[in-house]
Amino acid sequence: MNRKIMIMASLLALCAGRAGAQWIVSDPSNLTQSIINSSNEMVQTSSTAQTMIQNFRETQKIFNQGKEYYDRLRAVNDLVRDARKVQRCILLVGEISQMYVDNYDRMLSDGNFTVRELAAIASGYTRLLEEATYALSDLKGIINPSDLSMTDKDRLDVVDKSYEELSRLRNLTSYYTRKNIGVALLRARRQDDMERFLSLYGTAEEKYW
C-alpha cells in the first residue's frame, strides 16, 4: 500500500472528537447511522406535531455531537490530492446530515405541513442518509491493509466512485429540500402568510438549503 493510500486510511479516522462522543465520531458512518436510527424512531413513535418536535431533539443532539468532527476535518488543508477527495467524501455526508437536521427543524415549526407529511419528509431524508452510508461503507472497504487483492488503482477507483455517488446524493438532498420548501411556499401564499414563511426559511436569494 503506497503513501497516498496510507494517508487516506488515516484520514478516515481523523479528528475523533472528545471522549464523551468518541463512540460516534471515531467512525463517521456511526454518526450517520445514529441519526438514521433516531429519525426512524421519531417517525414510528410520534403521533402529533408536538411529540415529533420533542423526539426530533434527540436527532439534533446526535448530529451536534458529531459536528465538531466535521468542523475539524474541514479545517485540515495539508493533504495530497487523493486524500482531499476522501476528506470531501466524508464532508459530503456531513452536508447531507446538516441539510436534514437544519431544514427539518424549520419544517416542524411550519403549520403548512401535517404530521403525516412531516413523517413522510423525514422518511425521505432518512432514505438519502442510508444511501450515503452505503457509499461511505464502500469507502471504508479500501483501507484494510490485509486486503492485498486490491491494487492502488483499484482503491483510488473506489474513492472516485464514492465521491461521485455522494456528490449526487448531496445534490439530490438539496433538491428534495427545495421541493418540500416549495410546497410550504405555495401554501403560505394561498393563506397570505408570507411573512411567517420568510421568517422560517428566508428569501430565495439566500438559498441556505
- Give me the residue spans of the domains in the chain: 3-201
Model confidence, pTM: 0.83
Using CA atoms of 139, 141, 145, 150 in order, give the dihedral in degrees to the nearest 10.
Answer: -90
Confidence of residue 208 (pLDDT cuts 50, 70, 90): low
Residues in the chain: 209
| Matching residue, cell 463512540 | 23
Count of CA atoms in the C-beta half-sphere (13 A) of 44: 7
**Quick one: pLDDT at residue 74?**
87
Distance CA 174, CA 209 (A): 6
- The DSSP letter of residue 27 is S
Q: pLDDT digit string (tens) for 30-86?
A: 889 999 999 999 999 998 989 999 999 999 999 998 888 888 888 888 777 778 888
Confidence of residue 14 (pLDDT cuts 50, 70, 90): very low
Alpha helix positions (H), 75-193: 81-108, 115-140, 152-190
The answer to whether 162 and 12 are in contact (CB under 8 A) is no
Q: Is the dihedral of CA 55, 59, 64, 66 positive or negative?
A: positive
